Amino acid sequence: MPPHHLSRPLAVAALALAALAPAHAQTAAPRAEGASRISAVKLYPGSATVERVLRVAPGARQATFDCLPAALDAASLQVSAASGIRVGELAVRQQARELRGGACASPLDERIRALQDQIAGLQAESSGIDLATGYFKSFGQPGDGPRAGAATPAQIAATAQALRQGGQDALARQHQLARQQEQLERELKPLLAERERSTSAHARVSTVQVTLAAPQGGELRLSYAVRGPGWQPGYRATLDSAAKKLRLERLAQVAQSTGEDWDGVAITLSTGQPGAATQGPLPRPWRVGVQPPQAEAVPAPVMAAPAAAPLLRAAPAAKSAAEADADEPRFDVSVFQGSFATEFAVPQRVTVPSSGQQVTLALGEQALDTELLVRATPALDAHAYLIARLATPPGVWPAGALQLYRDGAFVGSGRFDAERSTREGLAFGRDELVSVRSERPEQQQGTGGFIGTRHQRTDERRYTVHNRHATPIQLQVLDAAPVPEHEDVKVESHYQPAPQTERWHDEPGTVAWEQPLAAGATQGFSATHRISWPKDERLRERR
């Protein structure tokens, strides 16, 4: 057989393999002309006001805002237009999502379609390689075609080498394609599940049609309120104990599941509550008089009892409503109670998916000077805790969750309330180098007064604090003292040493010692309380 007779089938196979080179560059479908986009969102605890922008062509007589949430508040719709555009009436309509066709396609559709196209391309290339390898396997087998002359040993060796190399390359490429297809299918699976969840939860959409006159065209803005989204404040406090500096970071947890993704929008966080009452109750007249005499009751005729109301019919609806509420992100609205609303404008554009996933936003930070002390309450806890006193930071700080870090280490979580934190300080965990010991309280009872007319009891407590730090500390020890609630109950208290106050933070019965404690030093504290009450009465105690 002439050499070119052998090389022709190999050349055909090589051309087939070369034609199967991957070329799967995908481009995102352009946005449909006239589609509106979300430009800004003002977020409240439990609701949001969304602003959409639509470009109106010159000469337009009607504009349509499509695929809006079905839960939008129709009474909150507001339309504003550029100069030269006159706006007429609004019409709101709700319908099933699938009836809107591609106009209300899921935001995930483009990504899903791109992955499916890539998978189809890989499958097509793999099928082409199957054809090529099948040709390699059938090469040299008896066939119905014209028989060629005998090949020389050199030609047979070259043909075998070409078949081996071509088959090896084809099988290696097929293995690579299988691996790439597995990776794409792993990426596709969660997207399909999320699209199914989103479309089933938001099966209906709203459409707003605006009648207008736009001789020159321009921008049309639509704003509407929707319930469900929300935000709650959070904080991160990082203490540098050596420098006595505190970095307080302001955070916000944002989540929404309205059915429309907020993609690259300007977000403003507000502590206002549009859903709350706009004014408090007003007093009603207070009328007083004489109760008229009651007439003698006449027995009512016996009648058959009415049939019980079918309460079980309402149970499934209540259950479905509860399940729907469980799918919505929840926020504690009570933490925002205040006299005035405060707004926080997020400087960067933010993307918040409609899956209910929480997104954390950083709203800035402040560096504060602190005064450190070690606080102990020996009667209740045998540990001492590091406390950072700080001045009230400027601005409005709604109460929220707090993450605490001390010298780079996470020490726990708490709750930040600006007023309480200023009054009591921020606690940064245990101080393991301060030992606290409380001796067992001693109690003596007896009688006193004139001829033993009163009961008398003496309570004595002793505490010891040892500083194992290599440096002095500022120590604060708190204890509770009895407070009489009746004029016949008498209390006499004696302390050693004398406390700084017996009304810590104006709290009667809360005793506070505060003093420096040198490195390696030990300090004892004692409190003796003598309580007396009438002999014929029983003493009531509440702790």
b/e per residue 232-263 (b: at least 16 CB within 10 A): bbbbbbbbeeeeeebebbbbbbbbbbbbbbbe
- With left for phi above 0 and alpha for psi between -120 and 50, is residue 67 left, alpha or beta? left
- Helices within 139-273 (DSSP H only): 153-201
**Widest CA span of the chain, in angstroms?**
142
Whether the per-residue pLDDT at 474 is higher than 50: the answer is: yes
For 324, the enclosing helix (H) or strand (E) is helix 314-327
Length of the chain: 543
Compute the mean pLDDT over every residue in the chain, rounded to the nearest whole number: 80
CA 264 to chain centre: 18
Could you give the CA distance from residue 45 to residue 400 in angstroms, rounded to a whole number?
13
Q: How far is CA 84 from the centre of its chain?
A: 43
Determine contact, residues 495/515, Cβ cutoff 8 Å: no
Residue 392 has pLDDT above 60, yes or no: yes
Please check whether residue 385 is in contact with residue 375, taking contact to mean a CB–CB distance below 8 angstroms.
Answer: yes
503 close to 481: Cβ distance less than 8 angstroms: no
pLDDT above 70 covers what percent of the chain?
A: 78
Q: Are 263 and 107 in contact (CB under 8 A)?
A: yes
Least confident of 149-153, 203-207, 272-276, 395-399: 149-153
- Beta strand 473-480 with 442-448 is unpaired
* pLDDT, tens digit (0-9, with 9 covering 90-100), for 195-213: 777 666 566 888 899 999 9
Q: Decide if pLDDT at 308 tops 60.
A: no
Per DSSP, the three-state class of 488 is: coil
CB atoms within 10 A of CB 514: 15
pLDDT of 240 > 50? The answer is yes
User: For the segment 274-302, what is each residue's pLDDT rounded down to a tens digit?
Assistant: 877 878 888 888 888 777 787 665 555 54
Q: Please answer whether residues 488 and 500 qualify as being in contact, where contact means their C-beta atoms are separated by less than 8 angstroms.
A: no
Predicted pLDDT at 94: 86
Q: Is the pLDDT of residue 319 over 50?
A: no
* pLDDT band at residue 103 using 50, 70 and 90 as cut-offs: low
H-helix segments, 139-152: none
**pLDDT score of 20 more than 60:** no
pLDDT tier for residue 338 given thresholds of 50, 70 and 90:
very low
Cβ neighbors of 341 (< 8 A, separation 6 or more) are: 270, 271, 272, 273
Backbone angles phi, psi at 213, to 5 degrees: -135, 115
* Average pLDDT score over residue span 227-255: 93
Question: Got the DSSP string for 168-181?
Answer: HHHHHHHHHHHHHH
Say yes or no to pLDDT of 57 above 70. yes
Mean pLDDT of 318-344: 50
Quickly tell me which residue has 């002999």 as its tokens.
535
The 3-state DSSP class for residue 76 equals: strand
Q: Kindly state the percentage of the chain with pLDDT values over 90.
A: 41
User: Which pLDDT value is given to residue 202?
Assistant: 63
SS3 at position 229: coil
User: What is the per-residue pLDDT for 139?
Assistant: 64
Q: Is the pLDDT of residue 77 over 50?
A: yes
Distance, in Å, from the CA atom of 44 to the CA atom of 388, rounded to the nearest integer, reads 32
Q: Read off the pLDDT of each residue in 435-463 and give the average, rounded to a whole number.
A: 78
Taking CA 350 as the corner, what is the angle to CA 366 and CA 393, rounded to the nearest 5 degrees? 15
294 phi, psi to nearest 5 deg? -80, 130
Three-state DSSP class for residue 505: helix
Mean pLDDT of 451-479: 91
Q: What is the pLDDT of residue 53?
A: 94
Higher confidence at residue 528 or residue 393?
528
Please report the pLDDT score of residue 296 as a whole number.
Answer: 63
Burial of 325 (0-12, 13-18, 19+ CB in 10 A): exposed
Higher pLDDT: 524 or 393? It is 524
Identify the residue with better confidence: 347 or 47: 47
> Are 89 and 96 within 8 A, CB to CB?
no
CB distance 250 to 233 below 8 Å: yes
Q: How far apart are CA 529 and CA 464, in angstroms?
A: 18
Does the pLDDT value for residue 400 go beyond 80?
yes
